[in-house]
Amino acid sequence: MARRLAALAHPARLRILRHLSGRGACCCKEVVEQLDLAQSTVSQHLKVLVDAGLVRFSPERQRSRYTVNVEEVARLSRALSGYLDDCSATNCCD
């Protein structure tokens, strides 16, 4: 969980994930056009998200495609929710 949360700890990566979630698949250039970031910056952030398992990478001819790994994002959501529920339980420190 920590590795995936670390991948989301940068505002640009949160914006990229949000952008990708609204589309079926995007190439890096499409993300660059929407987020006003340099192509190299977007590429680096996409790599972090891919390495964390939150985004899938699919090479296609001349353009690689990126999609949200919905299953992994949902798994992280459940894990984080459960963790925070446990931490906020009224008797957690007794």
Average pLDDT over residues 48-77: 93
Residue showing tokens 């925070």? 84
Write the DSSP symbol of residue 38. -
- Confidence at 63, pLDDT banded by 50, 70, 90: confident
Encode 13-43: b = buried (16+ Cβ within 10 Å), e = exposed.
Answer: bebbbebbeeeeebebebbbebbebeeeebe
Mean of per-residue pLDDT scores for the chain: 90
- Confidence at 65, pLDDT banded by 50, 70, 90: very high
pLDDT tens per residue across span 25-45 = 899 999 999 888 999 999 999
Please state the pTM of the whole predicted model: 0.86
